A = this chain, B = another copy of it.
Amino acid sequence: MQLSNTSQYAIRMLAYMADKKDSPLINATELAKVLQIPYKFLTKIMTELVKADLVVSMRGREGGYSLSKKASDIKVDDILNIFHDSIQEEQCVLGIGFCNGMCKCALHDQWMEPKLLLQKMFRESSLEDIAGKGCKI
């Protein structure tokens, strides 16, 4: 019951960038150092974020990354979707096929409420909402 490492890293990377909205570009070396994420793995993830159009990159000397849109327009769920970590409507906590609404599984009734709250949290939290909140980054 936890997000994948990749998703966790991506959220933290983007949240940090949102927090540093003054600096036009942020480079991978700084991110890896501050967030304690393996440099090579970070750049791999970042390239996916660029392809998914959440981030724009500038190559070459003095290059780096920046958010492609306003922090308030990037939701946590947008990030999870890239890595197939978003909670789907029919997702069963016991993983027995899909939910058809008629044929429930054993934990269905208790699962609905936290599932909705998680979906809400991911869909409604934007980078702006979480940037700079708390001391853990």
Whether A110 pairs with B125 at a CB distance below 8 angstroms is yes
Which residue from B2, B12, B111 sits with its C-beta under 8 Å from A91? Answer: B2
Considering only CB atoms and an 8 Å cut-off, how many residues of chain A contact the other chain?
40
Which residue from B3, B113, B130 sits with its C-beta under 8 Å from A95? Answer: B3
Whether B131 pairs with A106 at a CB distance below 8 angstroms is yes
Query: What is the 8 Å Cβ interface bit string for chain A, positions 1-25, against chain B (1 contact, 0 not)?
Result: 1110100100110010000000000
Residues of B close to A113: CB separation below 8 A: 117
Whether B87 pairs with A1 at a CB distance below 8 angstroms is yes
Known: A113-B117, A117-B114. A93 touches B136 (CB 8 A): no
Known: A95-B8, A96-B136. A121 touches B131 (CB 8 A): no
Which residue from B12, B92, B109 sits with its C-beta under 8 Å from A94? Answer: B12
A87: shortest Cβ distance to chain B, in Å? 6
Residues of B close to A137: CB separation below 8 A: 96, 105-106
A40 within 8 A of B: no
Residues of chain A at the chain B interface (Cβ within 8 Å):
1-3, 5, 8, 11-12, 15, 76, 85, 87, 91-97, 103-111, 113-114, 117-118, 121, 125, 130-131, 133-137
